[in-house]
């Protein structure tokens, strides 16, 4: 898969880099990273969309804790999207426009009944699990190639692990009460 957008020239000054991911010889690695970061960017954007809907739709007393947690997460996921976008630019990529977006989170669509909080909790866990799996792949690829991206994604990974752990706790409670 080729780059969707023409990358910005990496060396349009006479002070070209000889080391690191911004060097001319790292062009292929850089392109691969930009592709991965673009996918991560879209995952965050879709998560923001899904969490907004799922923080508004739920009904019932029990839903309030979930709503509040999702409201906090929305801000964090938005921050992640911005960080991925900024790193795409630093690697001479272009942050894509909305027409490139393809939705994938079938599991985070609104449930049939808006008191079905377990559906939301399970959907969030699935989204966070997907993020954790993919960010680990980026971290692995970036190892020895781009430690700055690796460092950033490790930081974001920790947030996702925290989100997942929190919602696992919610699910445990529902299971303990025979509701999940
Ligand atoms: Fe995120
Ligand atoms: Fe998350």
DSSP character string of 20-54: STTSGGGHHHHHHHHHHHHHHHHHHHHHHHHHHHH
Distance between Cα 38 and ligand 2 center (Å): 16
| Confidence at 18, pLDDT banded by 50, 70, 90 | confident
Q: How much is the average pLDDT of 119-130?
A: 98
What sign has the CA pseudo-torsion 111, 45, 35, 20? negative
Q: How far is the CA of 158 from the centre of ligand 2 (A)?
A: 9
Q: 124-134 as b/e, with b when 16 or more CB fall inside 10 Å?
A: bbbbbebbeeb
The CB-side HSE value for 127 (13 A sphere, CA atoms) comes to 33
> Is the pLDDT at 130 greater than 50, yes or no?
yes
Which residues fall inside 5 Å of ion ligand 1, going by CB?
44, 77, 80
Average pLDDT, the chain: 94
What is the arithmetic mean of pLDDT over 3-29?
A: 79
The predicted pLDDT at position 159 comes to 98
CA distances from 33 to 5, 42, 83 (A): 14, 14, 14
Average pLDDT over residues 134-143: 98
Ligand 2 centre distance from Cα of residue 152 (Å): 15
What is the share, in percent, of the chain residues with pLDDT greater than 90? Answer: 87
Mean pLDDT score, 8-29: 82
Q: What is the pLDDT, as a whole number, of residue 153?
A: 98
Specify the pLDDT at position 15.
72
Least confident residue range of 4-18, 102-116, 163-177: 4-18
DSSP one-letter code for 110: P
Give residue 104 CA to ligand 1 midpoint distance, Å.
15
Query: Who contacts 17 (Cβ-Cβ below 8 Å, separation ≥6)?
Result: 11, 23, 24
The percent of residues above 70 in pLDDT, for the chain, comes to: 94
Contact 164, 128 (CB under 8 A): yes
Distance 75 CA to ligand 1 centre (A): 9
Range 121-129 average pLDDT = 98
In whole angstroms, what is the distance from residue 32 CA to residue 127 CA?
A: 23
Can you tell me which residue has the tokens 């303990």? 176
| Per-state percent for the chain, helix, strand, coil, to nearest 5 | 70, 0, 30
CA distance 8 to 10: 6
Segment 8-15 mean pLDDT = 64
Nearest ligand, CA of residue 156? 1
pLDDT higher than threshold 50 for residue 31? yes
Predicted confidence at residue 1, as pLDDT, reads: 44
Asked if 124 and 163 touch (Cβ cutoff 8 Å), the reply is: yes
Torsion of CA 149, 151, 157, 158, to 10 degrees: -160
pLDDT tens, 38-94? Answer: 999 999 999 999 999 999 999 999 999 999 999 999 999 999 999 999 999 999 999
């Amino acid at each position: 898969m080729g780059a969707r957008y023409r990358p910005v020239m990496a060396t349009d000054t006479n002070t070209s880099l000889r080391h690191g991911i911004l060097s001319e010889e790292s062009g292929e690695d850089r392109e691969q990273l930009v592709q991965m970061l673009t996918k991560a960017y879209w995952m965050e954007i879709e998560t923001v969309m899904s969490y907004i809907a799922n923080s508004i739709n739920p009904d019932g007393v029990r839903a309030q804790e979930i709503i509040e947690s999702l409201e906090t997460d929305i801000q964090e996921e938005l921050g992640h999207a911005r960080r991925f976008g900024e790193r795409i630019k630093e690697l001479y990529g272009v942050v894509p426009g909305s027409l490139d977006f393809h939705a994938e989170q079938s599991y985070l669509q609104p449930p049939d009944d808006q008191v079905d909080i377990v559906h939301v909790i399970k959907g969030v866990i699935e989204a966070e699990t997907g993020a954790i799996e993919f960010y680990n792949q980026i971290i692995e690829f970036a190892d020895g190639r781009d430690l700055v991206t690796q460092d950033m994604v490790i930081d974001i990974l920790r947030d996702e692990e925290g989100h997942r752990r929190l919602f696992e706790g919610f699910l445990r409670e529902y299971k303990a009460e025979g509701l999940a």
